[in-house]
Amino acid sequence: MGLSGTGPGLVDAHAHLARLPDPEGALRRAAAAGVRAVLAVLGEDAGDGAEAAVRAAGLPWAAARGIHPEQDWDGAAGVAALERARRFAPGPGTAAVGEVGLPSYTPVGAAGRRRAAEAFTRQLAVAEAAGLPVVVHAVHGAADPARRQLAGFRVRAVFHWLKAPPEVVEAIVADGHWVSVTPEVVWRERDRALLAHIPPDRILAETDAPCAHDPARRQPSEPADVAAVYAALAALQPEVDWVGRLAANYRAWLLGPAAPGGG
């Protein structure tokens, strides 16, 4: 497993490799497409199966682990998820905590919101203590509450596939965090408009594989598809060396000093 692994080449900063039908093949295809590093978001699965699925292709990858915030926080599953968050430890070989955050698509009541917020806080505390960066899942109305929770911790965060108002995006960047964009930046105006509020040194590229992005084909994505993000960025801002810039951004998020914070 590689950490920085980002010489000249592309980086997929968020892929659920263990969910792909052929992770090893996907990594080989990614390498052939010029991808040089992948963040494998393994979630709570710290078992041998998830890691074995992505270990053999030889492409540098790093593992992120955490309790996903899209849970039924009002029900028994949410109570159990909070208990797991209270016991959460990233484990050996973990390079980032994630994806964690606040529910954005799952309806939750007041008690569920409190559980979700506590689970996020518990995992942020673990990340801070371990010096690990954080992958944040919090979009639309959850983005700013998540940003405010982050302010209490000295951690480096990337808001993955962010959807939020411009003022929230700018506040996230002002707090020293990063924002990652997906292949939907190729065609979705919402995602393209987001870039106007993010300086190049705060952008990462991701696929969220196997999430489908092409509105015509609707086929599962894989890390090789991150090339579409680079092409879109180059078309929008051709003056930027996006290959070098995003590799440097990924290293800074993964390995750099913590963002200002702490309460």
137 has binding-site annotation: yes
CA dist 78 and 74 (Å) reads 6
160 has binding-site annotation: yes
208 has binding-site annotation: yes
Q: Note the residue count of the chain.
A: 263
14 has binding-site annotation: yes
Sheet holding 61-65, edge to edge: 10-15, 35-43, 61-65, 94-101, 134-137, 157-160, 178-181, 203-205
Omega before 210 within 30 of 0, i.e. cis: yes
Q: Which residues contact 122 (CB under 8 A, 6 or more apart)?
A: 85, 86, 88
CA dist 17 → 2, 32, 52, 167, 192 (Å): 15, 17, 11, 33, 26
Amino acid code (one letter) for 231: A
177 has binding-site annotation: no
Residues making up the binding site for a divalent metal cation: 14, 16, 99, 137, 160, 208
Known binding positions: 14, 16, 99, 137, 160, 208
